[in-house]
Amino acid sequence: MDLGLQGKVALVSGASKGLGFGVARALAAEGARVSMCSRDQDGIASAAARLREAIGAEVMPVVCDVTKAQDIQNWIETSVAALGKIDALLINAGGPPGGLFKDTTEAQWQAAFELTLLSAVRMVRAALPHLNQGSAILTITSSSIKEPIERLGLSTVMRSGVAGLVKTLADELAGDGIRVNNLIPGRIDTDRVAQLDAAVAQRSGKTVEQVRAESIARIPLKRLGTIDDFGSAAAYLLSPAAAYITGATLRVDGGMMRSI
């Protein structure tokens, strides 16, 4: 299936590794020109080099801390100056720390707001003047917006806000021909999931291998997802092939979530 991404310009945040890198790779493999950002200068340069070497991709690495409004503005403006337009925007940032509500400080709530929710607002605001008919925005949230996860209250609250933002923007931007959707990762094999498994293992007295095996046993497809599984779904939703899909939330979780 031709997704119609050849020559399109896509911006992907949090793209030095994990889910963001998987999305950047999928878009580049479909022929999109990709501006990929991360606050890790060496990490984003290395990620871009890997894509160039592996698939001959036209990629542009930019250093950007998405908790900083000026960094986001610079990323958008630098990308448009170099690539001429924006056809697709992938909004992604690292997850807030885990912990119980009673142990979470006000400073941690503020930091989570800036990292997860306000960064999404800022990215949309900065990109919007450069988005035209047929453009697409896609956010990455978490299964916690459907089924709260123990000790991930910061993520649950802030990512639920992002999901609400998606529904709001889908209505407001439809008249301009701009689609807005949300993608939920399940248990994808990333550093973030490995860190969460390690935390569960430490609290429960189990090994990381036992925790992971129990997690996989709850997944109908009986495996963790890969960043390529996730990237393929994102590339589709960001592409012209999904031209009649907006305001939607898609789960990429191997069937793990049982909620209807």
Over residues 95-113, the mean pLDDT reads 96
Residue 192 has pLDDT above 90, yes or no: no
Token pair of 21 as six digits: 């890198």
How confident is the model at residue 6, as a pLDDT?
Answer: 98
How confident is the model at residue 58, as a pLDDT?
Answer: 95
Does the domain formed by 9-189+225-252 have CATH 3.40.50.720? yes
Given a contact cutoff of 8 angstroms between Cβ atoms, the answer to whether 57 and 12 are in contact is no
Residue 1 has pLDDT above 90, yes or no: no
Over residues 152-158, the mean pLDDT reads 96
Residue 1, CA atoms < 13 Å, CB-side half-sphere: 9
In whole angstroms, what is the distance from residue 152 CA to residue 1 CA? 38
How confident is the model at residue 83, as a pLDDT?
Answer: 97
| Domains of the chain, residue spans | 9-189+225-252
pTM over 0.85: yes
Residue 217 confidence class, pLDDT cut points 50, 70, 90: very high
Residue 196 confidence class, pLDDT cut points 50, 70, 90: confident
